[in-house]
Structure 1
Amino acid sequence: MKFLPRQLQRCMIAYCENHASATDASKTQAETTSKVFSEEDMDNWYRQFIDMDPMMLLDLCRAACFLQIKELVDITAHKIADILKGNSVEEIRQTFNILNDFSPEEEEEIRRKHHWAFH
């Protein structure tokens, strides 16, 4: 993980530690009647964990994909989809710092051909 920025490394480690604890807790729970981690606690932890800057979230999703951490890919991709939902192309470009490399004519042509996607 040396290729990852330090802040991203910390996020990955926090996720893996929490996920390992939750997995151990669910194994323990099967053996005992006490519940160490409730599903609600885990859901709250994940919600707080992915409540971050959209660019950081995108980097985290890419890193999870590269490292093949499926559950982390799933939760980050879901959060990214929630961020995208209901936003215009311009808002998405601004949120994720995406440069518009279309000429005005090209963009107009795309909007005309695919008008259904821009409403």
Structure 2
Amino acid sequence: MSAFLIRTAFTGFSLWIATLIVPGLNFVGGSTGWEEFGIVVVVALIFGVVNAFVKPIVQLLSIPLYILTLGLIHVVINAFMLEITAWITRNTTHWGLEVDDFFWSAILGAIVISVVGWLVGLVLKEAV
């Protein structure tokens, strides 16, 4: 359970960094700092659940595309997971993650989230 919470915290951090860097990717809702923090945490939880349940199915179905594109389809699949997370938060709560368009906001957001997550993983391996 604690590993899931730590991973969720780093996912929230990665999402927050992505919203600062990528135009067209932002959080909607929250008027105070604590409300915005809560939105980031909830979106990170939803993003983690989407990645845990939907992403493996999509990856399994897209094995031929992984071979054909030498793995570059992974960026598109990560962008698709961002879009699904934005759709869930937009249609259930009217606050959360907002992605303006798939090309280029979601693609660049997926790249930034992957790079930040990788860097955080490197720093944590060195610290532990």
- TM-score normalised per structure 2: 0.27
Identify, as 1 or 2, the structure richer in helix. Answer: 2
Q: Return the structure number with greater relative CO, CA threshold 8 A, min gap 6.
A: 2
Whichever of the two has the greater Rg, that structure is 1
Bigger fraction of residues in strand: 2
